[in-house]
Amino acid sequence: MVKTPKGQSPRGGQKMWGGRFLSKPSDIMQAINVSISFDKRMAAQDVSGSKAHSDMLAAQGIITDTDNAAIQVGLDDILAEIKDGTFPYRDEFEDIHLNIEARLTELIGETAGRLHTGRSRNDQVATDFRLWVRDHVDEFDGALSGLQRALLGQAAQTADMLMPGFTHLQVAQPVTFGHHMLAYVEMFARDRARFSDCRGRLNESPLGAAALAGTPYRVNRHMTSDALGFSRPMANSLDAVSARDFAMEALSCASICATHLSRLAEEIVLWTSVQFGFVALSDKFTTGSSIMPQKRNPDAAELVRAKTGRITGAMVALTMVMKGLPLAYSKDMQEDKAPVFEAFDALALALAAMAGMVADMQPNADNMAKAAGDAYSTATDLADWLVRELGLPFRQAHHATGAIVALAESKGKALHELSLEDMQKTLPQIHGGIYDVLSPQKSVASRTSYGGTAPDNVREQVKLWQKRL
């Protein structure tokens, strides 16, 4: 029996780790130490890890089958409480691991104390967190494919729909709206691939590394690794409890994905403005102004754009937490979870909002077609024609085209509105065939190089993606 000094509870005021402590931590110590308010999000993962660990302890003869059976029943009851919202999360037990162990003790008594044989909270938290990140990375794959399908739905309707393509946000060459949608399908495909690579690397089990050095118990780390769906146990116990690059990598993937969302969001903000008028969003994805009755604001797009700040901020925050930490575990690492939870929540919402907006978008074909012919957007077609038909070197063709654009500008005309005589003033060899390439339709139809914007290419890509998704 532990001797209890008068007026004090044994074990430092009921702390699980309190054997050598005589009095309770200060309130401020408690306040900075406690993590249950956020790490309770890993409750289900913690139960899974404990169930696998307990089964393994029994299989290895480290605990009895009877004790394991009691632990399994208790953990199942706890999982049911977590799911139906009746689990008592308590600050006095610090974190999710100790909360669950304390609850298990209430449910099954002293046997609960056998569960923590051959493990530490250090390998336990690393395991839980990997499981949590893995689960959510899998959800992003589903959300991203939903967004790709929404983009593809637009692309399938708009393979021929003209729009101006921009560089420097200045009208450059005509493209099609379908082609533009497919550009994002490609980007989000790479985001999925990045998350999938990240998943492959993170899917190793730290469980059984114990505090940092491994354990003298004859644990079977392959067994727990398999039970939890990991591909293998991590090979180095120090690395197993110290590594958080899996979380940094997941945040990097999230950050890049958010950047793509932000670019599309910015385009939606521009396109829905009166000045562009390229697409309209319905009442579902816009809001009004409290003072200006005529307004329809693309708030969802703006908020998706803004979430990128939070998500990339989270990546930087975790990187700063990890920078300079000596091996192995340091309590700094308790601060690894909040950035990941925050960023992942933001990304999940941003992906859902973007998929909703993309499906909701009504492209305005007339406005885009008109803008596609603005600003001499087919000047490159003219220059290419001079090279192809008249054999001019491209540089010379570029120069002659510049002169023709200047003439059109001085006359206030579009290129295809200039007369043949006008163009022949610059280059007498030009003939009527030139009018075949000067319209935006002809321009996009001619862009048949692999990956180009020609409507036939776009339709082909739509088909390929429809098969893949």
- Alpha-carbon distance of 101 to 123, in angstroms, equals 15
Question: Does 163 sit near ligand ARG (CB under 6 A)?
Answer: no
ω into residue 328 within 30 of 0, thus cis?
yes
Judged by CB, which is closer to ligand ARG: 154, or 334?
334
Question: Does 125 sit near ligand ARG (CB under 6 A)?
Answer: yes
Cα dihedral 79/81/82/83 (nearest 10) = 90
Contact segment (CB under 6 A) with ligand ARG among 121-129, 186-194, 359-367, 426-434 equals: 121-129
Question: Does 343 sit near ligand ARG (CB under 6 A)?
Answer: no
The count of chain residues that interact with ligand ARG, using the rule CB under 6 A, is 11
CB of 148 within 8 A of CB of 186?
no
- Alpha-carbon distance of 196 to 198, in angstroms, equals 5
Judged by CB, which is closer to ligand ARG: 246, or 329?
329
Judged by CB, which is closer to ligand ARG: 20, or 331?
331
Task: Please say if 168 is a catalytic residue.
Answer: yes
* Helix (H) / strand (E) containing 158: none
- Alpha-carbon distance of 145 to 262, in angstroms, equals 17
Q: According to CB under 6 A, which one of 51, 53, 103, 121 is a site residue for ligand ARG?
A: 121
Judged by CB, which is closer to ligand ARG: 132, or 329?
329
Residues 225-264 that bind ligand ARG (CB under 6 A): none
Distance in Å, CB of 270 to ligand ARG, minimum: 43
Question: Does 147 sit near ligand ARG (CB under 6 A)?
Answer: no
Judged by CB, which is closer to ligand ARG: 247, or 392?
247
Cα dihedral 223/229/234/240 (nearest 10) = -110
Exposure of 435 in the CB half-sphere (CA atoms within 13 A): 8
User: Which residue in 412, 237, 418, 13 sits closest to 401, CA to CA?
Assistant: 418
Question: CA-based diameter of the chain, in Å?
Answer: 110
Judged by CB, which is closer to ligand ARG: 96, or 438?
96
Contact segment (CB under 6 A) with ligand ARG among 117-125, 155-163, 202-210, 417-425 equals: 117-125
CB of 179 within 8 A of CB of 237?
no
Radius of gyration of the chain (CA): 31
Locate 143 and state its tokens: 């959300």
Task: Please say if 289 is a catalytic residue.
Answer: yes
In the 8-state DSSP scheme, what is residue 415?
G
**Which backbone phi and psi does 281 adopt, to 5 degrees?**
-105, 145
Distance in Å, CB of 98 to ligand ARG, minimum: 8
Distance in Å, CB of 359 to ligand ARG, minimum: 39
Q: Among the options 289, 330, 419, 431, which is catalytic?
A: 289
Question: Does 122 sit near ligand ARG (CB under 6 A)?
Answer: yes
CB of 135 within 8 A of CB of 445?
no
Distance in Å, CB of 333 to ligand ARG, minimum: 5
**Using CB under 6 A as the criterion, what x/- string covers residues 305-334 for binding ligand ARG?**
------------------------x-x-xx
Contact segment (CB under 6 A) with ligand ARG among 120-128, 306-314, 352-360, 364-372 equals: 120-128
Judged by CB, which is closer to ligand ARG: 40, or 296?
40
Residues 84-113 that bind ligand ARG (CB under 6 A): 95, 97
Judged by CB, which is closer to ligand ARG: 88, or 288?
88
Please state, in angstroms and as integers, the Cα–Cα distance from residue 445 to each residue in 133, 141, 290, 347, 378, following that order. 46, 34, 46, 37, 12
Distance in Å, CB of 138 to ligand ARG, minimum: 22
Residues in the chain: 469
Distance in Å, CB of 248 to ligand ARG, minimum: 16
User: Which residue in 85, 121, 89 sits closest to 102, CA to CA?
Assistant: 89
CB of 240 within 8 A of CB of 126?
yes
Binding site for ligand ARG (CB under 6 A): 35, 39, 95, 97, 121-122, 125, 329, 331, 333-334
Q: Which residues are catalytic?
A: 168, 289
